[in-house]
Amino acid sequence: MDLTRYIADVADFPQPGILFRDVSPLLADAVAFGAAVHALGAAAADLEADLVAGIEARGFIFGAALATRLGRGFLPVRKRGKLPGEVHRASYALEYGEDVLELRAGIVPAGARVLLVDDVLATGGTLDAARRLAQAAGLVAVGAAVLVELEALGGRARLGTSLPVRSVLRY
């Protein structure tokens, strides 16, 4: 299935000069969404994770669906102030700003192997922050799976070889 047919290009969003790759049409189509989750699972099959960590917001959607498909638990990686209790924090730069991610402390045992999932890999800042959060929580980030990789923005290079990245679509 050609999943690129379900990715909409939105110019100048969220600010002028940014070309946003919108996965909403893909999510709205049950067959395309299922194919995307299947493709993510196939791409990351060799990474042997105990848990899937989805990054807010669209990474939640793909991550939770993938966790269910793989029979794994799901960890939400949230934006600042959305989780109760003790949290680990990591700030990061986006291609158009800055933000903070949090991961709840102490809900899974140290040493658990985690697959990081997001919809898009752009500059790599979000996935790098998620990796740092996993490490701070005593977890092992075994890799990352993304639906779309924007190669020109160099996110894979920023992540280096210590975090294997699996992408389904590359632009």
Catalytic residue ranges: 58, 95
Strand pairing category for 97-104 and 140-149: unpaired
User: Can you tell me the distance from the alpha carbon of 11 to that of 56, in angstroms, rounded to the nearest whole number?
Assistant: 22
φ and ψ of 81, to 5 deg: 80, 10
- Give me the helices (H) in the chain, please: 24-28, 30-43, 58-70, 125-136, 155-159
Report the C-alpha gap between 58 and 91 in whole angstroms.
Answer: 19
User: Which residue, 104, 102, 39, is CA-closest to 65?
Assistant: 39
